[in-house]
Amino acid sequence: MTSSISSPPALQTPFQFLTSLRQASMATEDQKLNALFLPYFILPSHMTPLVDTARLFAARGVTVTILITQSNALMFQPSIDRAAAAGHRIAFHTIKFPAAEVGLPEGIESLRSVTSPEMNPKLAAAMPLLQKPMEQSIRDLRPDCIVSDFLYPWTVDIAEELGIPRLILSVTSCFYDCVFHSLKIHKPYEKLRSDSESFVIPGLPDEIEMTGSQLENYLKNEKESGDDGKFLNQILDSETRSYGVVYTSCSEIEPDYAQHYKNVLRKRCWHVGIPSLILEKDNKSNAEQQQHHSCLNWLDNQKPNSVLYICFGSMTRFLNTQLTEIAHALDESEQPFVWVVKKIGETDETGEETWLPEGFEERVEKSNKGVIIKDRAPQVSILAHPAIGGFVTHCGWNSVSEGVAAGVPFITWPLFAEQFYNEKLITRVLKIGVEVGSGVWNRGSKIRSPVVGKDKIVKALSCLMGGSEEAQEIRRRAREVSAMVRRSVEEGGSSSSNLNTLIEEIKAYVFRS
């Protein structure tokens, strides 16, 4: 049966909205909203913010079910168990991952668990196979609303079928959506003579300058974008038909763009706060139950704001030549560091790693000036440590929001996805970081863009970690932004109020008479 609510209701004035909300509140105050959350299974960077946001909804009295695959559920089970023990109504509904059908071993269900690059396309091939069982689970569970990752555009169809609202959980910033919209509308890149030429994006609150090489291929070459372009159009269509977008961000970070989004894009959005910050106490409690990571012990003996933290997320895979340049830069700068390398480079016949400069690890160990982590790192705890004075990052949104929450300034090194847009938010709008100078967008996480040389890296390190007036101003602003976002998640703050308002509005819409 097709519902009569094929699209969200028209945007109301603040007075109309508050009036309708008050009228509905008396009828709905005893009714419990039943929300179904749908994470994108193979990407840890997408799953974590969605599961964390589900916990925020449950803490506000919403009955929450998270539709997830079995092995992925195990990653988050401790936090869900703690939430349930605290009296929150939250649980997993698991479905089977089609591992055998795509030639994967049992238990390999996300990029976090892969053991070879050959597994990546098999993971991607599994996702279309999951649509039908997910749709059936949604029908069986009969939720009042759906909170979906944007990479499931088809969830808007089943929401319309069931007559329920569909919310999109964004895993990036409102700034990005505004910039991408302006690029799609105005197409300033079509006038460029070369990809190295820079241009200003029209129609935005700030003067944002980019180059052609920093833009996605499927944006610049829409006629030749193939499946990428088709999928992008499906996502954009589903956004238009959805009730609104939930941002794991704070309006204080991007106030002009939150307003621009509503006024120009004419869509609803809610900034509900940075989940890792809101759930900080619970996450600390969990961390205390685990073994204290050795890098934290090392950081305890370093001076405040003296250590550089280097991490490019869980997906990035650099060529050995790029890793070598980073090592040379650290060697030359003599900057204390914690460097997370998710996958080490090639080894020779003796088992020695060939990407490290000769004697590098021995010098680091002898001087005690750094730590190399070759596995997962407790990033939130590292960023929160007073010894950390800078964060070299690929500008993935989770890393950006965690760095912002910690008040740590950035050295930005974007590589793929929406990361070049996030860089502009950090360096041009918030002004809490410096750019290393990476300039070429990559289609995926296996990086093939030109190597950023040692000299560029050293220059960025010196700029941020030195004692110049520019560096001091960047640090001051980073602390200021951190204080703003922390206030926003407190009771009565903007993010806390936005979350309450969103839940009450959805309840009023779902339980309307």
- Is 368's pLDDT higher than 50? yes
Percentage with pLDDT > 90 across the chain? 78
What pLDDT is stored for residue 22 in this prediction?
Answer: 52
User: 14-273+489-510 and 291-487 share one CATH topology?
Assistant: yes
- Is 314's pLDDT higher than 60? yes
Q: Which amino acid is present at 227?
A: D
Contacts 24+ apart (CB under 8 A), 468-476: 471/409, 473/431, 474/409, 474/431, 474/432, 474/433, 474/434, 475/305, 475/389, 475/409
pLDDT tens for residues 128-173? Answer: 999 999 999 999 999 999 999 999 999 999 999 999 999 999 999 9
pLDDT tens for residues 473-487? Answer: 999 999 999 999 999
How far apart are alpha carbons 451 and 272 in whole angstroms? Answer: 38
Task: Give the position of tokens 């996480």.
Answer: 445
State how far Cα 310 lies from the chain centre: 17
The pLDDT mean for the chain works out to 90
- Is 259's pLDDT higher than 60? yes
The single-letter DSSP state of residue 213 is: G
Q: Is 389 exposed, middle or buried (0-12, 13-18, 19+ CB in 10 A)?
A: buried
Q: How far is CA 332 from CA 275, 344, 363, 467, in A?
A: 37, 21, 12, 18
The dihedrals phi and psi of 63, each to the nearest 5 degrees, come to -80, 120
38-42, 182-186, 308-312, 360-364: segment of lowest average pLDDT: 360-364
pLDDT tens for residues 10-37? Answer: 555 544 555 555 555 544 455 889 999 9
The DSSP bridge partners found for residue 81 are none
186 vs 286, which has greater pLDDT? 186
Q: Which amino acid is present at 509?
A: Y
How far apart are alpha carbons 59 and 86 in whole angstroms? Answer: 9
What pLDDT is stored for residue 5 in this prediction?
Answer: 41
What pLDDT is stored for residue 315 in this prediction?
Answer: 86
What pLDDT is stored for residue 282 in this prediction?
Answer: 65
How far apart are alpha carbons 413 and 395 in whole angstroms? Answer: 7
- Is 388's pLDDT higher than 60? yes
How far apart are alpha carbons 400 and 176 in whole angstroms? Answer: 13
Assign 446 a pLDDT band (cuts: 50, 70, 90): confident
Q: How many CB atoms lie within 10 A of CB 6?
A: 11
Percentage with pLDDT > 70 across the chain? 89
What pLDDT is stored for residue 224 in this prediction?
Answer: 65
How far apart are alpha carbons 494 and 513 in whole angstroms? Answer: 29
Q: What is the pTM of this model?
A: 0.90
Total residue length of the chain: 513
What pLDDT is stored for residue 229 in this prediction?
Answer: 84
- Is 63's pLDDT higher than 50? yes
The DSSP bridge partners found for residue 372 are 339
Q: How many CB atoms lie within 10 A of CB 511?
A: 16
- Is 291's pLDDT higher than 70? no
How far apart are alpha carbons 321 and 298 in whole angstroms? Answer: 28
Q: Domain 14-273+489-510 is of which CATH architecture?
A: 3-Layer(aba) Sandwich (3.40)
pLDDT tens for residues 104-126? Answer: 999 999 998 988 889 999 999 99
The DSSP bridge partners found for residue 491 are none
How far apart are alpha carbons 38 and 53 in whole angstroms? Answer: 11
Tell me which residue of 146, 125, 126, 144 sits closest to 135, measured CA to CA: 146
Assign 4 a pLDDT band (cuts: 50, 70, 90): very low
What pLDDT is stored for residue 218 in this prediction?
Answer: 86
Name the CATH code of domain 291-487 (choices 3.40.718.10, 3.90.1420.10, 1.10.357.10, 3.40.50.2000): 3.40.50.2000
Q: Which string of DSSP letters, residue by residue, matches 416-478?
A: BTTHHHHHHIIIIII--EEE------BSSSB--SPPPPHHHHHHHHHHHHS--HHHHHHHHHH
pLDDT tens for residues 408-441? Answer: 999 999 999 999 999 999 999 999 999 999 999 9
Assign 375 a pLDDT band (cuts: 50, 70, 90): confident
Active site residues: 46, 149
Q: Decide: 333 and 462 in contact? Cβ < 8 Å.
A: yes
Task: Give the position of tokens 């360096």.
Answer: 427
Q: Rounded to the nearest 10 degrees, what angle do helices 44-59 and 70-85 cross at?
A: 30
Write down the domain spans for the chain.
Answer: 14-273+489-510, 291-487
The dihedrals phi and psi of 379, each to the nearest 5 degrees, come to -60, -45
What pLDDT is stored for residue 40 in this prediction?
Answer: 98
Assign 256 a pLDDT band (cuts: 50, 70, 90): very high
- Is 348's pLDDT higher than 60? no
Q: Is 412 exposed, middle or buried (0-12, 13-18, 19+ CB in 10 A)?
A: buried
What pLDDT is stored for residue 2 in this prediction?
Answer: 37
Q: How many CB atoms lie within 10 A of CB 470?
A: 12
Q: Decide: 36 and 141 in contact? Cβ < 8 Å.
A: yes
Q: Decide: 91 and 80 in contact? Cβ < 8 Å.
A: yes
